[in-house]
Chains A and B, each alone.
Chain A
């Protein structure tokens, strides 16, 4: 096979991996902090993508505004849902949070399908990022390089905030022992709302980034969340670093599988999940209880 194909699939894998990493990172933050298995993570990805599309088509605000505002919109929608609905689940078993977010996903997706139907709507690559570079061994579209760059920057940035700042310290403390953390004067309920907002805003960011590559549709993100769920299980449910590394590497692995054994590409991630669950049930980066 040609190196063109190999590197082409490697790039596709890296792009998919970038989306996996953003969504999985948000998922891991939300699960660690709130104990909520947010099946609606793919829905916030869709909301981000549609946010960008609506800003462009209804308000004439282009890609750069979309990139700024759409994750913010997803985050605000998320915080409103946390305050009104999700916060009622904290005292219950994890399964209730999963069911609630599943219901939210069906409801939001259904509403979008009602108004926009399922046909994909194009969302253009901004003029600044059109074209690409000829690297000799392959052609690298500028926009795809941009997606990987932005996603890595936000993943690293989020990791930095959580590990190295006082907000991150409070978040970690609230994750580990919420009641005691409140007794130290920290408003944990507000922190949970904020954490949920950040977690879904990362998915929203993934959505705007994805718009120009995959187009925008109410059903985008529906399949993605299943893969993201597998990735988070492989990485370790609460592990920030695990989510990012696993997201990227399984994206690449999926791309490579397409080259060497195309029939296996759709299931390679689940095969890995199966093996990891057998060998290290807490995930590659998870803490064994």
Chain B
């Protein structure tokens, strides 16, 4: 399957009457890793949820490999080959680990098999019959990532996959993301852990108050380190 590209322009999104995104514009070329950084409440999660079609009130344009999906329902967008790892992980309590892994609908046969996913995350294999929400935080994040590797998706939206995790687990999650990248997949990553993100990212977008305020290509990261710290309020 050809890798997907993503292009967003003038995206507005609302929760009820509250206007949260004010014209977000960004590009994720096929096969690249793009990271969105920004402070709490900047609108990063809302941007990912809008791409996925999960925010009902949204305007502007979101095109996935040329196809405008601004009015498409989530299941249609997923079936184009878009996979989502939510910030809250979204593990199902009423499904066991294997069922959680098997839930997302396959879009083609290029994804990993269940066995391969269990090889990548042996912890999950050991707990394959446990109720999904009985897992530790780290295991739940492995499950959230493992879950999208099976479908054959080629555009991945990852929302803070390392948030609140111990360093060893961050390493394991990092391995899985590097694997996605090595396979040439397109990744849009939201990440507060700048050092983690910088290693794999081709370009950074900085968001503030529902807008993109800057774009920093990989080559400029070192040069502009001070400014980045200022953006993130570190």
Residues of A within 8 A of B (CB): 166, 169-170, 172-173, 175-177, 179-189
Contact B84 A183 (CB under 8 A): yes
Q: Given the interface contacts A182-B73, A185-B151, A186-B105, does A176 sit within 8 Å of B92 by beta carbon?
A: yes
Q: Is B95 within 8 A of A173, CB to CB?
A: yes
Cβ contacts B72-100/A at 8 Å (1 or 0 each): 01110111000010100010111100010
* SS class, residues of chain B in contact with chain A: loop
Tell me the residues in window 6-59 of chain B with beta carbons closer than 8 Å to chain A beta carbons. Answer: 52-54
The answer to whether residues A173 and B54 also contact, given A183-B84, A188-B75 and a CB cut-off of 8 A, is no
How near does chain B come to A46, taking the closest CB pair, in angstroms? 32
Q: Is B169 an interface residue (CB 8 A)?
A: no
Measured between alpha carbons, how far is A187 from B76 in the docked complex, in Å? 8
- Contacts A169-B102, A179-B54 known; A187 to B75 CB distance under 8 Å? yes
Tell whether B198 is near chain A: CB-to-CB under 8 Å. Answer: no
**B73–A176 contact, CB under 8 A?**
no
Q: Which residue of B lies closest to A287 (CB)?
A: B93
A186 contacts B75, C-beta separation under 8 Å: yes
- Across the two chains, which residue of chain B brings its CB closest to A175? B94
Q: How far is the CB of A286 from chain B (nearest CB, A)?
A: 13
Q: Is the CB of B103 within 8 A of A176?
A: no
A170 to B52, CA, bound (A): 19
B90 & A185 in contact (Cβ 8 Å cutoff): no
Report chain B residues within 8 Å CB of A183.
52-54, 74-75, 77-78, 84
B residues near A182, Cβ cutoff 8 Å: 53-54, 73-75, 78
17 extra interchain contacts, Cβ-Cβ under 8 A, other than A183-B53, A183-B75, A188-B75?
Answer: A169-B102, A169-B103, A172-B92, A172-B95, A175-B94, A176-B93, A177-B90, A179-B74, A180-B90, A182-B74, A184-B78, A184-B103, A184-B104, A185-B105, A186-B75, A186-B105, A187-B75
B residues in contact (CB < 8 Å) with A: 52-54, 73-75, 77-79, 84, 86, 90, 92-95, 99, 102-105, 107, 147, 151
List residues of chain A with CB within 8 A of the CB of B53. Answer: 182-183
The one of B79, B102, B103 that contacts A181, using a Cβ cutoff of 8 Å: B103
Least CB distance from A179 to B in Å reads: 5
Cβ of A188: which chain B residues have Cβ within 8 Å of it? 75
State the Cβ distance, B144 to closest chain A Cβ, in Å.
10
B73 to chain A: which residues have CB within 8 Å? 182, 189
Of chain A, the residue at the smallest CB distance from B133 is: A176
* A180 and B78 within 8 A (CB): no
| A185 lies within 8 A of B104 (CB) | yes
Q: Cβ of A175: which chain B residues have Cβ within 8 Å of it?
A: 94
Cα(A189)–Cα(B79), bound, Å = 15
The interface centre, meaning the residue of A166, A173, A185 with most chain B CB atoms within 10 A of its CB, is A185
Residues of B within 8 A of A187 (CB): 75
Within 8 Å CB of A166, what residues of B? 102
28 contacts between A and B (CB under 8 A): A166-B102, A169-B99, A169-B103, A172-B92, A173-B95, A176-B92, A176-B93, A177-B90, A179-B54, A180-B54, A180-B86, A180-B90, A181-B103, A182-B54, A182-B75, A183-B52, A183-B74, A183-B75, A183-B78, A183-B84, A184-B78, A184-B84, A184-B147, A185-B107, A186-B75, A186-B104, A186-B105, A187-B75
